[in-house]
Copies of this chain bind each other. A is one copy, B any other.
């Protein structure tokens, strides 16, 4: 019996693959991957594996999805060959991108399947850019939503109350999304950021406001993670790359004696 692993490739840096994903990629017979998987991650793949690119492009999602299902059937069946098939998806395999549907397809066809969670870009990319999604006194929650295929602007009013909002696949419709959030009560000067190619050496961070985005003044290249909320301001406070020695906010912490530390 062959087995399909639905594996998260993480945000791009191959060191952010899980140990399990790394091992599976090194012994895979077949790797099916899409547009969000980085070249660095693909270098980890067993050189003898059959690699199949199945990136989705605008307007042909359904056609490509059928090719993915066809590949599952083709490689898992036949000839008594036991294959390790890795379906590799950017970030975490169950955060958007139809991972759950692919799992359902495999279940329905009696193909053995296992989910291998990955580091989600929604959480990791902002953090690596100096924006933690939660911070005591600033953000007690975060919402992750896709900017793609939403049923129109009214939907966004539901997300306007989130402490921190992360929009994946939101570059194309960024101006409408920003305007919808403003219409739902968010301030024009609410800080927002786009992080392109997060976790890689080509990372680019754009810090801006909802107002500027709504006015169409912010240039961003897809794919990028779009973050909205007060936590974006924290970025200026972290001494990234050790360049800044002074913290921009007063940090008053009483340091207790280390005597009470429990060693294990």
Binds B, one of A78-86, A143-151, A187-195, A209-217: A143-151
In this assembly, does A172 line the interface, its C-beta being within 8 Å of a C-beta of chain B?
no
In this assembly, does A71 line the interface, its C-beta being within 8 Å of a C-beta of chain B?
yes
Interface of A is mostly: mixed
Residue of B nearest to A150 (CB): B140
Q: Are B71 and A263 in contact (CB under 8 A)?
A: no
Q: Are A69 and B134 in contact (CB under 8 A)?
A: no
Give A66 to B103 CA distance when docked, in angstroms.
45
In this assembly, does A118 line the interface, its C-beta being within 8 Å of a C-beta of chain B?
yes
Known: A100-B234, A108-B247, A133-B94. A127 touches B115 (CB 8 A): yes
Residue of B nearest to A134 (CB): B96
CB-CB under 8 A from A92, the residues of chain B are 119, 123-124, 127
CB-CB under 8 A from A244, the residues of chain B are 107
Residue of B nearest to A1 (CB): B242
Number of interface residues of A (CB under 8 A): 94
Q: Are A66 and B143 in contact (CB under 8 A)?
A: no
In this assembly, does A48 line the interface, its C-beta being within 8 Å of a C-beta of chain B?
no
Contact of A70 among B133, B134, B158, B258 (CB under 8 A): B258
Contact of A67 among B8, B22, B260 (CB under 8 A): B260
Give A158 to B69 CA distance when docked, in angstroms.
39
Known: A119-B119, A238-B104. A71 touches B258 (CB 8 A): yes
0/1 per residue, A243-264, Cβ < 8 Å to B?
0110101010111111011111
Residue of B nearest to A249 (CB): B104
Known: A105-B253, A143-B162, A256-B63. A52 touches B18 (CB 8 A): no
Centre residue among A117, A118, A253, A264 by max chain B CB count within 10 A: A117
Residue of B nearest to A129 (CB): B115
User: 14 A-B residue contacts at CB 8 Å?
Assistant: A16-B18, A16-B116, A19-B22, A71-B258, A92-B119, A92-B123, A94-B134, A110-B239, A117-B199, A134-B146, A140-B146, A140-B149, A143-B144, A158-B162
